[in-house]
Amino acid sequence: MIEVYRPNGLSGNCLGTIAIGDVYKSEWMTHALPGWQKYCDRHDLGLFVVTADLITKEHPKWKKPTWQKLLLGQVLKEEGIGAINVCYLDTDILINPMAPNIFDHYDGRSYGLVSQIKNLPMPLDLVMRQYVFLRHNFYDRGYPLDSVVFMPLAKQYEYSGLTAVDDSACAGLILFNVAELADEMEGWFQKYDTQTASVTDGDQTHLNWEMISSGKVQWLPYEFQALWVYEMAWKYPFLYTAHQSNKTLIRECIEASLFSNYFLHFAGSWHESDMWLVGDIMADPNVIKTHADFQDYMKQPLTGEPKGLIKPAKTNMSSD
């Protein structure tokens, strides 16, 4: 049920995911796991994957695997895996191995989340309009320019019969403390029926409502769950047009996004969300070194002392 790829280090902190089914597991192992392993080795973190349902399909409260992350804490305790803090991640998240340790940003008491609507490095309304427009024009003319994508946050909660809360995280990343929060999370799983309705047809609306309503949320920086659909529409719109099949360019854009972000999530069901499968992301040692050097440079204090007039050397760039 749980496969441990790396035992917990002295901190008891670990990354974990759910990959049920051969396709999901194979894609995660091929394209995401190498970066996760390097990250865990660097920060001495445990790493595990769940490969089978944590509750039988015959159970009256069975829900699909995205809901079953609520059971992780209890199962870890039952299996005797000494996890203290867990960072649950969806399988389609790529990690920059040189990124800071996410647990250094976590208080160990709250639900660690990344907002998908606040504290973004781009205007939310504009970036959403951009990816909707680009999908409509370059993927499928049948894709609507106005749809539930733009439903106000309060209406999203109302649709599920919930009172509105003022934020929403992508539930593909949740940090939690096993001792403090596992019982509460299992209670939420048991609270909802198999056919619980939501705008997203998943767990996100209800999990957000429960976690935010609990008053125990710690909001982490966007860099720990940058959303590729935002990144691509905002920074690399040319990937929608003439370069949809250019794997080399797609790979370079993903690596460029990971230069300024730590975790990159390919959430969604449209074509952008499959781009993490191009392969060989962060596989070039020179790319890794550049990212590592940049992280070292970010720690360097700056004085702003003048160094005199500095001009670049002439190049042989053509004028045409």
Q: The CATH number of the domain where 281 resides is what?
A: 3.90.550.10
Does residue 243 fall inside a structural domain? yes
pLDDT tens for 202-261 read 799 999 999 999 999 999 999 999 999 999 999 999 999 989 999 999 999 999 999 999
Residue 87 lies in a domain: yes
pLDDT of residue 93: 98
* Full domain range(s) for residue 221: 2-298
Residue 311 domain-assigned? no
Pairing status of strand 93-95 against strand 263-265: antiparallel
Is 258 within the bounds of a domain? Answer: yes
| pLDDT tens digits, 102-155 | 999 999 999 999 999 999 999 999 999 999 999 999 999 999 999 999 999 999
Report if residue 318 sits inside a domain: no
Residue 316 inside a domain? The answer is no
User: What pLDDT digit, counting tens, does each position of 38-59 carry?
Assistant: 999 999 999 999 999 999 888 8
- How many structural domains is the chain composed of? 1
CA angle 120, 213, 152 (to 5 degrees): 50
Residue 110 lies in a domain: yes
**Assigned domain for 314 exists:** no
